[in-house]
Homo-oligomer: A and B are copies of this chain.
Amino acid sequence: MIDPVFLDTPLYQCDALGRRLGCTVSIKLETANPVRCFKARGTELVAALLAGQGRTAVVCASAGNLGQALGWSGRRRGLDVTVVASHRAPAAKLDRIRALGVELELVDGDFEMARVRAASIAQQRGVRLVEDSLDLETCEGAATIGLELASAAPVFDAVLIALGGGAMATGVGHVLKTLAPDVEVICVQPAGAPAMTRSWHERRVVTTDSADTIADGVAGRYPIPEVLDDLLVVADDAVLVREESIVAGMRMLLESAGLVVEPSAALGVAAVLEDPDRFAGRHVATIICGGNVDLDAYHRWVRT
């Protein structure tokens, strides 16, 4: 059900990056597609199922990438798509959501406020609410990245996965633990938005009052209990990284791999930078999950 344009994405070893990080680094590139992120793998499933059921509308909250993906997948199948986002989301993401012919509503709060508003719209209108990470399609979509990683040769020692709501971590993690159980599944979250990582370590939902990170794609505060349950089963570790490491990761991906990425996509490199001994000489794969970034901010970040 997933358009092939989102599947079988590039997976390749980047020697220049590996030399700087002291390990072998493979890149799984999810940005070379019409929505410049991995999210459409999941929204393709959602939209295909809804269209098959004769539904005509769908709504979601989005930090910016899910909204683009649902817009792309939904509009191509004749669905009216409504996206609720924070007014603080990157302008690049909001502009691209609008350009897809989506009804975009901005809330005067953060992503968690957008989630509340999206749920309310869905209830009022009686349309399907897509809840990222909770709805199985969003995890199954991301899981197809895991299928592609698991079929790669040689096998990786570790896979670094950006952790936000948990769709990518649980989806990819589930596949890897099933098909390649020796691969270490490591989730990476910004120290400024640590709710899910703290929850994983304490084995219970821990919320935070605020989220303060440039990695807008993973800046949630209220982990979903069911997602945490899944994450406890499939993740080998969850680590937090500093903002300066995320910036250094973005810069390194530009300098050594020629890739413009959004902050969330640099979390894996940031994790290696913060703990080089852990990864020394090993073969790690990092999923470059998105490239939707405001260029002005990006230039400020990567300027040395």
Chain A residues at the B interface, C-beta cutoff of 8 Å: 5, 8-16, 19, 27, 29, 31-34, 36, 96, 99-100, 254-255, 258-260, 291-293, 295
Shortest distance from the beta carbon of A64 to any chain B beta carbon, whole Å? 14
Give 4 nearest A-B pairs by CB, closest first.
Answer: A10-B32, A258-B291, A258-B260, A5-B12
Per a CB cutoff under 8 Å, which of B33, B254, B292 touches A260? Answer: B254
Q: Is the CB of A16 within 8 A of B99?
A: yes
Per a CB cutoff under 8 Å, which of B29, B99, B260, B291 touches A19? Answer: B99
Protomer copies = 2
- Indicate whether A96 sits within 8 Å of B16 (C-beta atoms), given known contacts A260-B258, A293-B258: yes
| Complex CA distance for A100 and B15, rounded to whole angstroms | 9
| Residue of B with least CB distance to A6 | B12
Per a CB cutoff under 8 Å, which of B12, B291, B292, B293 touches A34? Answer: B12
B residues within 8 A CB of A19? Answer: 99
Q: Is the CB of A258 within 8 A of B9?
A: no
Q: Is the CB of A10 within 8 A of B34?
A: no
**Which one of A33, A96, A254 has the greatest number of beta carbons of chain B within 10 Å?**
A33
Shortest distance from the beta carbon of A37 to any chain B beta carbon, whole Å? 10
B residues within 8 A CB of A11? Answer: 5
B residues within 8 A CB of A29? Answer: 32
Q: Is the CB of B34 within 8 A of A15?
A: yes
| Complex CA distance for A254 and B260, rounded to whole angstroms | 8
Q: A10-B33, A15-B100, A260-B260 are in contact. List 19 more A-B contacts (CB 8 A).
A: A5-B10, A5-B12, A8-B8, A9-B10, A10-B10, A12-B34, A14-B34, A15-B34, A15-B99, A16-B96, A16-B99, A19-B99, A27-B32, A29-B32, A31-B258, A36-B258, A254-B260, A258-B260, A258-B292
